[in-house]
Structure 1
Amino acid sequence: MTRSPGADPEPAADALAGAPLRSADRVYARVKAMAVFYRLRPSERINEVELARRLGVSRTPLREALNRLAAEGFLEATVNRGYSVLPLDPKRVLTLYEYRATLEIGALRLAAERADEGGLDQLDALARRTQHSTGQDALAQLAADEAFHTHLVALADNAEMLRSLRSLNERMRFIRWIDLDKGQPGHWTDEHATMVALLRARDAGAGAALMQAHIARRLDRITEMIRAGFAEIYTGNTLAARILGDAA
């Protein structure tokens, strides 16, 4: 089922909390959420027997889920060692930000050519939603921000770009939540409104420059975010508990 641009970023795992897992898809959704929100800790080698017991499932659907998650870039598969959680390190996070910037700049240029006024009106409404979210908690802010950027990329009318952004959103969700929760308030919501105005003016050049500045993160800032992320993971991980409905 296609999710609406305004949907919250919380994955299907919130609906799984406390529920028995009956299918490979549900096992996949649960393990994916555990990896995305670091209930499985960074660089941790996955003990399939223990994880199957923890989830109350057999190893067959779990192995299917692990294979799928490794193919999608959420886990690492190593010959003769099984699966492990991706590391939370500055270089890897920087590559995600760089990829996201490149992807969204390309999408913005296409949207400047292809977006109709109705689509831009919807984007403007989502920009206002991000402005209204600034007094809310970090997860609500993240939901509003993801909705804006997802709709902007949708305006490029390129299904591969949209699929890539949705995957990036999931892989970056924890660190972006940390950035919003622990970081200093910025002007990113005002920049959303400016992007809409530049798209209406069909000014792809100025829009691309703004998008680059909007997404870019310096390595020192990423290192600070990761330090805060590790502190969160090893002192209760309130975000994982909120999404998954379980304890560390």
Structure 2
Amino acid sequence: MATNTKRKESMADRVYEALKDDIFEFRLIPGDKFSEGDVGTRLHASRTPVREALYRLQREGYVEVLFRSGWQVKPFDFQQVEELYDLRITLERAAMHKICGLAEQPQALRMLTAIWNPDHPSERAVGSTVRALDESFHCDLVAAAGNREMTQIHREITDRLRIIRRLDFTRVDRVDATYVEHAAILEALRSSMATEAADRLTRHIRASQKAVREITMERIREAAEAHRQSPVESEQQPTSQGA
């Protein structure tokens, strides 16, 4: 019995990861509709793990259930994204001031400085590694401020923005800018220049926000065009039935 339960959980995890990857890579675009049967057929999974995976994605805000008509990839709510970015900036600016008010500089500053001030450009991270490092940079700075509630709320915002923030590192110029801007923020913090650090951080986040919005819209347009130009392929991909 335990073995069967574990097997179901494992299949649900695989279905979850496959669907999430489809959404992140825009093989499923916002507004695409599909049924549990479609997913099960494509991924060779029974209804129970498929449903578990979809409910998990629903809780995380990636899909929504449609009354009597299956599921849908949740359309982007850019107003909500703007509001989440505003809240994120408010929390991170507060963290800058708290860090500069500490009696001793947190060890996190030294560790982050080593990462974002490499001796040579060839030592910079790439791909998924730099995405993970960027997320850690912001989360670690907030955590270094020492407010656990602030840290928890910030992590929840980070989770909700991950689907679009990751696109910021699909362009080389954005990776270069991230290294330069992170280093500048850390320099201001080490000099206990709270307002300067907060202002640099705000400009950095707003530049990233603008870039990811542009990239997101471009990806959605490209994916929608591919759907229109390849109707045969769309029919062969049962998880994607169009917006």
TM-score (normalizing by structure 2): 0.68
CA gap 1:105/1:85 in 2 versus in 1, 3 angstroms: farther
- Equivalent in the alignment of 2:190: 200
Indicate which of 88, 92, 104 corresponds to 1:100.
88
Indicate which of 92, 100, 119 corresponds to 2:108.
119
- Equivalent in the alignment of 1:36: 24
- CA deviations 1:54-77 (Å, max 9, x no partner) are 222111122122222212222234
Contact 2:165 2:212 survives alignment (8 Å)? no
> Counterpart of 1:188 in structure 2: which amino acid?
T
* Equivalences, count: 218
**Quick one: distance in 1 between partners of 2:35 and 2:123?**
40
SS at match of 1:216: helix
Please list every run of 5 or more consecutive structure 1 residues that lacks an aligned counterpart in the other structure.
1-19, 237-247
- Equivalent runs, 1:162-241 vs 2, <5 Å: 162-166=151-155, 168-169=157-158, 171-173=160-162, 175-182=164-171, 184-185=173-174, 187-217=177-207, 224-233=214-223
**Quick one: distance in 1 between partners of 2:181 and 2:71?**
40
Structure 1 stretch 122-131 or stretch 57-66: which is displaced more?
122-131
- Equivalent in the alignment of 1:17: none
**What displacement does 1:213 show?**
1.1
**Quick one: distance in 1 between partners of 2:17 and 2:151?**
20
**What displacement does 1:215 show?**
0.5
Q: Which has the higher helix share?
A: 2
- Equivalent in the alignment of 1:71: 59
Structure 1 stretch 69-78 or stretch 84-93: which is displaced more?
84-93
**What displacement does 1:201 show?**
3.3
- Equivalent in the alignment of 2:140: 151
Structure 1 stretch 37-46 or stretch 75-84: which is displaced more?
75-84
- Structure 2 residue 37 is matched with structure 1 residue 49: yes
TM-score (normalizing by structure 1): 0.67
Aligned CA-pair RMSD: 3.8
- Equivalent in the alignment of 1:11: none
Contact 2:106 2:144 survives alignment (8 Å)? no
**Quick one: distance in 2 between partners of 1:21 and 1:234?**
33
**Quick one: distance in 2 between partners of 1:26 and 1:130?**
40
Contact 2:142 2:151 survives alignment (8 Å)? yes
> Counterpart of 1:122 in structure 2: which amino acid?
M
Contact 2:100 2:193 survives alignment (8 Å)? yes
> Counterpart of 1:213 in structure 2: which amino acid?
R
Task: Give percent identity, aligned residues only.
Answer: 32
**Quick one: distance in 2 between partners of 1:149 and 1:130?**
22
